[in-house]
Amino acid sequence: MILVTKARLNPAALERSVSSPKHGAVASFVGTVRSAHAGRVVKAVSYDCFVPLAEKELARIKAAAERRWPVRVAVAHRNGRLRVGEASVAISAGSGHRAEAFEACRFVIEEIKRRVPVWKKEHYTKGDGRWLAGCALHRRS
């Protein structure tokens, strides 16, 4: 399962999609909008996303994880405006044992931060906002 959506994320559905009777482990990571950053009080975050390329990059990351470990991976990323506490990204990895499930989850979130075309603008309680700095993209061969 690969998903970029304006709808609320459903981490339980991701977990179900990677579950199998052959699996002894499901590890999940859920990123959420926090209420403070760099000394500012945050009331919301707007996610902007180049959807066609983001979906392809998420699929490539999922495939890379599934080549590297014996896991089944699902990932979903939000788009649009989120309130504090809402889930912005959810990842699940199902596998025979816990080690590869944890490692795959960590790999996927780190790759998302490096290469998926998503941007976030924090909105502060004083009414102003700021686009956050990030990682420059590069073509991958």
Partner 1 sequence: MKRKIALYGRLRDAGHGRILSVELPKSVTCREALALLKPSFGRLLDGCVLATGDEVLAPGDELPAGTLALLPPVCGG
Binding positions for partner 1, rule: CB under 8 A: 31, 47-50, 52-54, 56, 77, 88-89, 109, 112-121, 131-140
Contact 59, 116 (CB under 8 A): no
Pick between residue 53 and residue 99 the one whose CB is nearest to partner 1: 53
Pick between residue 21 and residue 138 the one whose CB is nearest to partner 1: 138
Count CB atoms within 10 A of the CB of residue 95. 25
Contact 92, 73 (CB under 8 A): yes
- DSSP labels, 1-40: -EEEESSPP-HHHHHHHH--TT-SEEEEEEEE--SEETTE
- Least CB distance to partner 1 at residue 69 (A): 20
Pick between residue 26 and residue 33 the one whose CB is nearest to partner 1: 33
Pick between residue 38 and residue 133 the one whose CB is nearest to partner 1: 133
To the nearest 10°, the Cα dihedral for 73, 79, 84, 89?
10
- Least CB distance to partner 1 at residue 135 (A): 5
Question: Distance between CA 11 and CA 67 in Å, rounded?
Answer: 23
- Least CB distance to partner 1 at residue 89 (A): 5
- Least CB distance to partner 1 at residue 97 (A): 26
